[in-house]
């Protein structure tokens, strides 16, 4: 029987679009409508890891789930300081279990945020964040700024559903009633559709933002005629554009968080927005990549008080990014085993960190094979959250939404897997 399921959530990017239609036939997803190409391909699925595996003499060998859980528990118990990393593409409920596991084994919980919007979070620690939900921007914003991000390719439905092209109560004309400014180092597809494109030299975000802050603060006279290759005249025009907006919104991406200056860039951008509020209404938001990387930060914050990089080795949460974040731990060889879930560090971490991971026992929990699988010692395939199991995820603006279950599968969900590992940890400890 063919079943049409409406208002499905797309578990690809931080937009967490919740208006997707999915057709299911005989327990298989047949058709996805309303999603972008990235989302469709995620929902349609691709090659799955078929069975749990452990590495024996360098080769992965299929085993039962029970054996995999036990082996994973052994690795974690025998480790002095294990790392539990990932969490961006799974549910909040899974992370809750992960935190409990980390508390019991004295491990470190870190999320993929530390290598994407980690600097944004540190910026927020310095300055706070003046934000809103996406609907507020859709209904009100007459100026949208994309800074160091490219939603046309990374968040394909963002502009239509939430930002520059969306129609709302005070923005009935959609794109026509808005101005779009793109700040980037290259002319992206997003930039080509903008009203104004400010092309800046790589690594000069901080100077440009500082100059805008000076102009907005009435100190334009002190500026040189040229700031990091951009003319003062152009900067004054852009500052004027911002000040004269009724409601402005800046979306920023890794172009800002990972160029020279890192969290200082974000700190500066947050200050700019805060100051713009003396003149008009302005908000700012990070373009989060994975669909639940925001949720991972939320769960960690309410559980431990800190949004990422939390070390439970002392029994109480300890947080010091730069010390307790995954790349720092790996590059110092300060962890000796890793549980990797819902992420692919082998493709995303610096080479030295990946080498460190390859040297230690690694447990991988994921529905799909990825480069991390190549050196994992225990591989546990899981059900896909939002397609095969229910759970909670947070959209990039912090709205919590419930993922739906569309089809039944044999695979256990991440919550079930982590609970089983936790049970094995407790049992093995009792035996000793």
Partner 1 sequence: MIIKGGIVYDPANGIFGEEMDICIENGRIAEDAGGEVIDARGLLVMPGGVDAHSHIAGPKLNTGRIMRPDDSRMGTEPRTRVCRPSTGYTVPNCYAIGYRYARLGYTTAFEAATPIIEARHTHEELEEIPIVDKGALTLFGSNWTVMECVRENDMDMLAAYVAWGLRAARGYGVKIVNPGGGEAWGFGSNVKSVHDPVPHFDVTPAQIIRALAEVNERLRLPHSIHLHFNNLGRPGNYTTAIETLELLKDIKPSRMRQVVHVAHMQFSAYGGTGWKDFESKASAIAEYFNQTNHATMDLGQIIFGPATTMTADAPLEYANARIGHQKWSNHDIELEESSGVVPWVYTRKMPVNAVQWAIGLELALLTKDPWKVVMTTDHPNGGPFVNYPEIISLLMSREKREEEMKTLHEVVRSRSTLPSIEREMDWSEIVIMTRAAPARILGLEDKGHLGIGADGDVSIYNIRPDEIDPSKDHAVVKAGMSRAKYTIKGGAVVVRDGEIVAAPQGRTYWVDAAVPESDMDRMLSSLKEKFERYYSIRMSNYMVQDAYVPNPVVVNAGMQPLKEVI
Q: Applying CB under 8 A, which residues contact partner 1?
A: 6-7, 9, 18-19, 92, 96, 100, 103, 121, 124-136, 138-140, 161-162, 167-170, 246-247, 274, 277, 280-281, 283, 297-298, 301-307, 312, 314-317, 319, 390, 392, 394, 398-402
Distance between CA 48 and CA 371 in Å, rounded?
Answer: 14
- Identify which of residues 200 and 209 has a Cβ nearer to partner 1 in the complex: 209
Provide, rounded to whole angstroms, the least separation between the CB of residue 294 and partner 1: 11
Q: Coil, strand or helix: which one is 272?
A: helix
Provide, rounded to whole angstroms, the least separation between the CB of residue 396 and partner 1: 11
Ramachandran assignment for 34, one of left (phi > 0), alpha (psi -120 to 50 degrees), beta (any other): left
422 touches 430 (CB < 8 A): no
The contacts of residue 312 (CB under 8 Å, 6+ apart) are: 102, 103, 105, 106, 107, 108, 109, 318
Provide, rounded to whole angstroms, the least separation between the CB of residue 417 and partner 1: 19
Which tokens is 361 given? Answer: 């026992």
- Identify which of residues 69 and 162 has a Cβ nearer to partner 1 in the complex: 162
338 touches 14 (CB < 8 A): no
Provide, rounded to whole angstroms, the least separation between the CB of residue 372 and partner 1: 28
The contacts of residue 336 (CB under 8 Å, 6+ apart) are: 79, 80, 81, 82, 360, 361
Provide, rounded to whole angstroms, the least separation between the CB of residue 186 and partner 1: 29
- Identify which of residues 191 and 249 has a Cβ nearer to partner 1 in the complex: 249
Provide, rounded to whole angstroms, the least separation between the CB of residue 312 and partner 1: 7
- Identify which of residues 245 and 329 has a Cβ nearer to partner 1 in the complex: 245
Distance between CA 380 and CA 376 in Å, rounded?
Answer: 10
98 touches 419 (CB < 8 A): no
Distance between CA 427 and CA 333 in Å, rounded?
Answer: 29
Helix (H) or strand (E) holding 259: none
164 touches 140 (CB < 8 A): no
Provide, rounded to whole angstroms, the least separation between the CB of residue 189 and partner 1: 23
Which tokens is 107 given? Answer: 């491990």
- Identify which of residues 77 and 167 has a Cβ nearer to partner 1 in the complex: 167
- Identify which of residues 33 and 50 has a Cβ nearer to partner 1 in the complex: 33
Burial annotation 249-262 (CB, 10 A radius, 16+ → b, else e): bbbbbbbbbbbebb
Provide, rounded to whole angstroms, the least separation between the CB of residue 193 and partner 1: 21
- Identify which of residues 70 and 155 has a Cβ nearer to partner 1 in the complex: 155
Which tokens is 175 given? Answer: 């794109």
- Identify which of residues 71 and 138 has a Cβ nearer to partner 1 in the complex: 138
Provide, rounded to whole angstroms, the least separation between the CB of residue 287 and partner 1: 15
Q: How many angstroms separate the most distant Cα atoms in the chain? A: 74
**Beta partners for 431?**
none
- Identify which of residues 127 and 232 has a Cβ nearer to partner 1 in the complex: 127
């Amino acid at each position: 029987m063919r079943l049409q399921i409406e208002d499905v959530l797309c578990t690809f990017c931080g937009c967490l679009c919740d208006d997707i239609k999915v057709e299911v036939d005989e327990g298989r997803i047949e058709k996805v409508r309303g999603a972008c190409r990235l989302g469709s391909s995620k929902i349609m699925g691709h090659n799955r890891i078929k069975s749990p595996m452990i590495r024996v003499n360098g080769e992965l060998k299929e085993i039962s789930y029970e054996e995999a859980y036990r082996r994973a528990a052994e690795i974690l118990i025998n480790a002095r300081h294990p790392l539990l990393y990932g969490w961006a593409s799974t549910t909040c409920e899974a992370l809750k279990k992960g935190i409990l596991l980390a508390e019991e084994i004295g491990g470190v919980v870190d999320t993929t945020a530390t290598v994407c919007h980690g600097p944004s979070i540190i910026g927020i620690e310095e300055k706070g964040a003046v934000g809103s939900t996406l609907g507020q921007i859709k209904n009100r914003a007459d100026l949208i700024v994309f800074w160091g991000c490219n939603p046309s390719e990374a968040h394909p439905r963002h502009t239509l559903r939430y930002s520059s092209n969306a129609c709302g109560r005070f923005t009935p004309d959609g794109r026509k009633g808005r101005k779009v400014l793109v700040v980037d180092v290259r002319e992206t597809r997003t930039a080509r559709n903008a009203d104004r494109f400010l092309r800046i030299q790589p690594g000069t975000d901080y100077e440009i933002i500082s100059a805008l802050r000076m102009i907005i603060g009435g100190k334009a006279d002190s500026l040189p005629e040229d700031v990091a290759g951009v003319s003062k005249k152009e900067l004054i025009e852009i500052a004027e554009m911002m000040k004269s907006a009724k409601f402005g919104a800046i979306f920023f991406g890794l172009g800002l968080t990972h160029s020279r200056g890192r969290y200082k860039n974000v700190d500066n951008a947050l200050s700019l927005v805060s100051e713009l509020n003396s003149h008009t209404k302005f908000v700012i938001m990070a373009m989060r990549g994975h669909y639940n990387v925001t949720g991972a930060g939320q769960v960690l914050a309410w559980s431990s008080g800190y949004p990422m990089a939390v070390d439970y080795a002392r029994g109480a949460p300890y947080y010091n990014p730069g010390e307790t974040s995954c790349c720092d731990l790996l590059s110092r060889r300060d962890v000796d085993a890793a549980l990797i879930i819902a992420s692919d560090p082998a493709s995303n971490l610096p080479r030295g960190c990946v080498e460190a991971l390859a040297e230690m026992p690694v447990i991988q929990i994921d529905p799909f094979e990825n480069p991390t699988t190549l050196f994992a010692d225990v591989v546990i395939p899981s059900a896909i959250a939002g397609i095969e199991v229910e759970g909670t995820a947070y959209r990039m603006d912090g709205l919590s939404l419930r993922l739906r279950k569309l089809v039944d599968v044999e695979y256990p969900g991440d919550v079930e897997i982590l609970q089983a590992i936790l049970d094995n940890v407790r049992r093995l400890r009792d035996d000793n």
